[in-house]
Chain A
Amino acid sequence: MKKLIATTALCAALPMGAFAQDKPDSLKVGMTTFLTGPASVFGVPARDAMDIMVQNLNDEGGINGVPVEVSYIDEGAGAEALTSEFRRAVEQGGAEVMFASISSGNCQTLAPLAEDLEVINFMWDCGTQRIFEEADYDYVFRTQANATPEMLAAVIYLLKTQPDFETLAVVNQDYAWGRDSWDIFRTALMQFKPDVEIVGEFFPAFGAPDYSTEISRLQALQPDVVLSTSWGGDLDTFVQQASQRGLMNNSTFVLPLAESSLERLGSALPPGQIVGARGDHYFLHPERRDDEDFKSFMSQYEDQTGNITVYSVFHASQALAALEAAYTKAIEENGVEWPSQEQVLAAMDGLEFQGLGRPVTIREDNQGIEAQLMGTSAQNGDYPFATLENIMIFDGAELTAPVGEVSTDWIETLGPEFVDEIEPTTFEN
């Protein structure tokens, strides 16, 4: 213990690293991700993917010859450890860019901290749309979409594929995401199809082990559509219990995060349910699956982890792609060996980069514009789990609230015709 403190104190006394303009030995990045706790279903795949991608990037010479070095911080260790570690990574670890975080709550904590520490921070996975709607940031960027386009894509896909449903019930996890996402979904649905009756709203506890009672209620209510934005073990349990008890025979399920559960659910997810992916994230992405880089990464990932990818892997790829694109752009624009922080920040303006999905652009309010992929589950025997058919990929720009507008206020200005105005690219599978 004593030794540990002594070492840390010593490290603190050392100078903080080289000047920005000199080419450093490496580009240090700190990434917060869930290594423990329920959300590690996203955090661990993202870390594994990041390791592979960074290795690949460095094998090709890194960014302008500088290798990237990522260190990880566990979001599951609690907020105190997270904030201390975030600071440590920036102030002692010499991290030039931070990727934080998965949890929206952590994003809200860390975004102002990053701003105060004047470190570039990519919100690489958190969904809350509030951050840029409530404050302006100079150092914080989101390299992916927020909850608004994710939910709008789900509503529109539902209305395009099943325009005639009359009743809907919701079963969401009882925490901010479950509530926020329902707020957006409901607001949009009421604008696009005001005659829908919402027959049940259930918010079982986060991590609830059993949904028997909710399922009994749903069977009695017989809604045409059941929405659940749950994820991870909660979604698995809910879908398993619902499918076991035949609830899916009469109701269509809309599951905007089910892409991340496809493999685990196996045969338990019946065909005909609507599946989303928090972006255009799908291991058989119809526009990307024949691309060499996509294919080679997918096989690398499967070799190393034994699993198919989930959306957090795509989000990790976008954060890394944004990093590479920003530095490369800053180097080119300024004709330098290595950019200063101001030059990187300037390059972020309107930056376009491509991870595993469609290209993403950074808008003037630092929000990323990302495409959305929705599909319908099919059990066609190609894999021991459900794959998607009738896939639609939505352009993110139309579905994201305009700069300076609050999402729910903006959605309330939309009318039923909005659904028809949106024209996604459609694929059979």
Chain B
Amino acid sequence: MSSVTTTAPATGSSPAALSLLWIAGVVLLAAVPFLAPNLQLLVNFALAKGLAVVGVTVLLRAGQVSFGHALFFGISAYIGAFVMASVPGMDFFGILIAGTLGAALAGLVVGLFVVRYRGIFFGMLNLAFSMIFWSILEKFYHITGGADGIRLTRPTVLGMELGRDAFELFLYYTAIVLVVGLGWFTIRWFASPVGQLFQTIKTNETRLEYLGISPRRAMLSGYLLSAALCGVGGILMATAQGVVTPEYVWWVRSAEMVFIAVLGGAGSVRGAFLGALIYEFVRTYASAYAGDVWQMLLGAFLLVIILFAPGGIIGIFERVFARGKGTS
């Protein structure tokens, strides 16, 4: 019952001009700390969130919408905070790995349940799992710090203690490397046999079954990837933020990820990052300059995109720049 307008899952590469443009985009991002240092933190948040949005995008490729993926974002962030609290002097890469593995493991456990479901039920069940975790975070306050969350002290980097500026700069470039690396991986994964089998869930599970493939197993592969991506995003966000709160898992946060995925261009990895950047800018500046109506502005923005540019921002972007059939 569910299907999403995605850019064709075909695997053709984008025209060279467009690729150059993307490379220019990454270079521009890398130059932010020098050109506009005040935007660095904001872009860092957007990149972290963008990774989680890619996680949601993976599922959109199979026509499924999760309204609870903030769960994995939050699990990873909390694991990072717990590890930092219990192992003093923990290294950044230690919590990055721990958080991502934790999110993937949670993805496996939740995934084993939810891969049986499709459409609205898939979305709702994910929502329920995330809300259970949210309630637990709020409830077991002596462990989780309740609504105030847990402070995540600055980890060392390969044994070095960095000051805030140095650490943030390191984190920023780590985020760019992860975004480029994981974005590239996800695009390759989409084009690979496993990724293609996963995406066929959107159009025909019967045929998938008759190819000798378990749709649930195929679904689980994508679900794991999406959970792990959210996990990486969560740990990046938590270290950039320095604190984790139950708000990381709140349903509006999950809806926001779907919001950004569709805003950027549902199904597009690059669109997810583009969407996250634009969303974060609009949100921050709208709340700064139009404190009373920023939600309204965002809502109206989303409506305009859905009604008039269903391909999302990436759709507009590629229509303007691409000559030929540019995809994902």
Residue positions of A touching B, CB distance < 8 A? 1, 4-5, 8-9, 11-13, 35-36, 72-74, 77-81, 83-85, 87-88, 91-92, 103-105, 108-109, 112-113, 116-117, 128, 174-176, 179, 203, 205-206
B36 touches A8 (CB 8 A): yes
New A-B contacts (14) at CB < 8 Å, excluding given A1-B282, A78-B247, A174-B141: A9-B39, A72-B291, A80-B280, A81-B283, A81-B284, A84-B45, A85-B288, A104-B148, A105-B245, A108-B148, A108-B151, A128-B148, A174-B146, A175-B146
A175 touches B138 (CB 8 A): yes
Q: How far is the CA of A172 from the CA of B36 in the complex (A)?
A: 45
Q: 3 closest pairs, A vs B, by CB?
A: A175-B147, A105-B148, A176-B148
Q: How far is the CA of A88 from the CA of B36 in the complex (A)?
A: 12
A12 touches B241 (CB 8 A): no
B39 touches A77 (CB 8 A): no
Q: How far is the CA of A73 from the CA of B285 in the complex (A)?
A: 11
Q: How far is the CA of A175 from the CA of B149 in the complex (A)?
A: 10
Residue positions of B touching A, CB distance < 8 A? 35-39, 41-42, 45, 135, 138-139, 141-142, 145-149, 151, 163-165, 237, 241-243, 245, 247, 278, 280-285, 287-288, 291-292, 294-295
Closest Cβ of chain A: how far from B111's Cβ, in Å? 28
Q: Select from chain A the residue with minimum beta-carbon distance to B164.
A: A116
Q: How far is the CA of A107 from the CA of B4 in the complex (A)?
A: 42
- With most chain B CB atoms within 10 A of its CB, the pick from A36, A73, A80 is A80
Known contacts A8-B38, A176-B141; A36 and B146 CB within 8 A of each other? no
A77 touches B283 (CB 8 A): yes
Interface residues of A: mostly helix, strand, loop or mixed? helix
Closest Cβ of chain B: how far from A175's Cβ, in Å? 3
Residues of A within 8 A of B149 (CB): 105
Partner of A81, one of B38, B142, B287: B287
A80 touches B148 (CB 8 A): no
B38 touches A105 (CB 8 A): no
Known contacts A4-B281, A12-B38, A12-B39; A174 and B139 CB within 8 A of each other? yes
Q: How far is the CA of A269 from the CA of B319 in the complex (A)?
A: 63
Known contacts A81-B283, A105-B245, A113-B242; A176 and B145 CB within 8 A of each other? yes
Q: How far is the CA of A302 from the CA of B142 in the complex (A)?
A: 41
B138 touches A87 (CB 8 A): no
Q: How far is the CA of A80 from the CA of B280 in the complex (A)?
A: 9
Residues of B within 8 A of A83 (CB): 41, 241-242
